[in-house]
Chain A
Amino acid sequence: MKILDEIANYFKEIGEIALFAKRFFKEAFKRPFERKEFIRQCFVIGYNSLFLVVVTGFIMGLVLTLQVRPTMQEFGAESFMPAMVGISIVREIGPVITALICAGKIGSSIGAELGSMKVTEQIDAMEVSGTNPFKYLVVTRIWATVFMLPMLVIAADAVGLFGSFLVENVKGAVSFKLFFNQVFENLSYGDLFPATIKSFFFGFVIGLVGCYKGYNSDKGTEGVGRAANSAVVLASLLLFIVDFIAVFIADIFYEI
């Protein structure tokens, strides 16, 4: 019985998120657009996560190259390193790692912020002062994550490739020009565009889940913590599901 309840709750939550998403799309394109708040959220979400994402991306490129290099060397295929690292970072590792980091940083902060606003009646206060809080808080945040995540992914990709180049340069004496020439030589639009489109959806998932959890948080400080925590967990899970679907669709449109 308890398990049945849990299953029922699970589907209920999926339904609620779907309704929340529907409400977002209904309000997302309606005027007035909260431009100032959107820019502020872009700053908070995009710019303030930049350092974290860039550092992670750099280490990611560094470590990936260091780990894969010996194996490639065994096959005498070190010259494939830039191509391999380039494709794996651009296609998969860059977007997914960045999205997971952002789910942790942005998802939890949105969840906690909206949760505490809900608990302290700030959302009600907004409503009575004639501002649609859904538009002001949720729509702007989701738009901000949708637009900022691809930017962060690009930054992480660029820095990750630079980290990979440093390893190649030190260990294999590969010049900057050769490294990036090889990277671009082996990238195609079939690698870049699905990854970029995927990033938009990753941003949407992080924003949507963070806002949903915060906006529907329970009363009390405990509820705020729970909202932040479950936002991260659910967002991370959904990211992988979206990634799977994205790869699936990309395979249909772009033959590998």
Chain B
Amino acid sequence: MSKEKSRTTRLGIFVTLATIIFIIVVYNIGNKQSLFGSTFKITSVFNNVNGLQKGNNVRYSGINVGTVDNISFLSDSTLRVIMTLDKKIQPFLKKNAIASIGTDGLVGNMIVNISPGSGTDQVVEDGDQISSYTRIEAENMLNTLGQTTDNIALLTLNLLEIAEKINSGEGSLFRLINDSIMATDLKRAVSNLRITTQNINTLSSQFRSSIEEVVQGKGVLGYLLHDTTFEGQLNQLYSNLDTLITTRTTPILNNLERSSLDIAVTTNKLKNIIQDLNLNHGLTGKLLYDTAAAEDLIQILDNLNQGTNRFNQNMEALKHNFLFRKYFKKQEKQLKKFDKPPASSD
């Protein structure tokens, strides 16, 4: 009989333990899905939920606080997302909090992020609606970045063309060098061009730093820019610019020892344009949070492009108009000089 009893006891212990484990697992899973404990509901309206589903997690400042309870159409272009949140976070959630839809990691599930609003406001109540914020989608972001890259490539191409055009202008410039009187002028011009190069470098580093601002910018753009391939592309771009400046411009300088102050002036103008763009539009990470900023970025890059074109045009003008004008002027001067002595000798 006692043997029977101890058997039953051991069986009872086993069954109890197994049941307890089962209940713990059920509770833990349920807890995750906010099925137990007191909860409250809030809603938010979106234009596009980007594949958000019932049961997706809701995060407040990065902590899981609940799940998406339901998604329904409010009108043809607006959707209401009802979220069930843990009662414990209610005191910390203010009415000015902002909900946005994002992804958990690069390939993870969709989540609703609630960010605390700035300043102080009343605590949310059950059933409240908080404002939403449609974040730049990853795809749009990539498109923008693609355009940016195109623009930068175009810029490089333009710079290359300038260099080539300077190269092609060799013939007429070579003659200029033979002119001993021109030598001092040109030496000055070379030093100016050095300044120009420095300015181009500054421009390049400024461009780099504005890109770095983008890189430091938080959010989807942030992590996309942290992507190594993109960074590699950017580096490639920098090195292209560097190569351009060092291998193309320097030999020209060494070989020709020419150019003029106006290049520097023009470059300064270009620099000013870019600085203006930077200052006026405040190309900072903060602004990149919204599409407007992204569009601004495109605008900036377009302007930069235009600026480069202008730089190009200036260079053309420099080459064709100014240099030759000066050349002809000097030619005229020289002719006058040749003519004058006989006259003075008279």
Contacts and interface: CB of A to CB of B under 8 A. Distances in A.
Interface stretch (A10-18, A35-43, A212-220): A35-43
A213 to B, nearest CB: 25
B338 to A, nearest CB: 79
B29 A50 contact: no
Given A184-B28, A185-B32, A42 B21 contact: no
Contact of B7 (A40, A150, A155, A185): A40
A47 B32 contact: no
A187 B21 contact: no
| Residues of B in contact with A, size category | 10 to 19
B18 A184 contact: no
B105 to A, nearest CB: 10
Interface in A1-55: 39-40, 42-43, 46-47, 50
A167 B302 CA distance: 56
A196 B29 contact: no
B14 interface: yes
24 contacts: A39-B11, A42-B15, A43-B7, A43-B10, A43-B11, A47-B7, A47-B10, A47-B14, A50-B14, A150-B18, A151-B14, A151-B18, A152-B18, A154-B18, A155-B17, A184-B28, A185-B32, A187-B28, A187-B29, A188-B29, A189-B26, A189-B29, A189-B33, A192-B26
| Residues of A in contact with B, size category | 20 to 34
Interface string A67-86: 00000000000000000000
A152 B17 CA distance: 11
B8 A192 contact: no
A231 interface: no
Contacts of A155: 14, 17-18, 21
Contacts of B14: 46-47, 50, 151, 155
B22 interface: yes
A46 B11 contact: yes
B21 A158 contact: yes
Interface string B16-34: 0111011001101110110
Nearest to A41: B11
A14 B28 CA distance: 42
Contacts of A46: 11, 14-15
A47 B9 CA distance: 11
A9 to B, nearest CB: 39
B199 to A, nearest CB: 44
Q: Is chain A's binding surface mostly helix, strand, loop or mixed? A: helix
Nearest to B30: A189
Contacts of A189: 26, 29-30, 33
A196 B22 contact: yes
Residue of B25, B28, B32 ringed by the most chain A CB atoms within 10 A: B25
Given A46-B14, A151-B14, A196-B22, A188 B7 contact: no
Contacts of A42: 11, 15
B20 to A, nearest CB: 9
Given A46-B15, A188-B29, 14 more contacts: A46-B11, A46-B14, A47-B10, A47-B14, A150-B18, A155-B17, A155-B18, A155-B21, A158-B21, A184-B25, A184-B29, A189-B29, A189-B30, A196-B22
Contacts of A152: 18
A151 B7 CA distance: 17
B29 to A, nearest CB: 5
A46 to B, nearest CB: 6
Interface in A185-237: 185, 187-189, 192, 196
Residue of A46, A47, A188 ringed by the most chain B CB atoms within 10 A: A47
A151 B18 CA distance: 5
Contacts of B18: 150-152, 154-155
Interface string B280-316: 0000000000000000000000000000000000000
Nearest to B17: A155
Interface string A118-158: 00000000000000000000000000000000111011001
Given A154-B18, A184-B25, A192-B25, A43 B8 contact: yes
A189 B7 CA distance: 33
Contact of A154 (B7, B8, B22, B28): B22
Contact of A47 (B11, B21, B25, B29): B11
Residue of B7, B26, B29, B33 ringed by the most chain A CB atoms within 10 A: B29
A192 B29 contact: yes
Pick the 4 closest A-B CB pairs, nearest first. A151-B18, A184-B28, A43-B11, A154-B18
A150 B14 CA distance: 12
A117 to B, nearest CB: 20
Contacts of B4: 40
A163 B218 CA distance: 40
Contacts of A150: 18
B29 A154 contact: no
A150 B26 CA distance: 14
Contacts of A151: 14-15, 18-19
A151 B22 CA distance: 9
Nearest to A185: B32
Contacts of B17: 155
A188 B8 contact: no
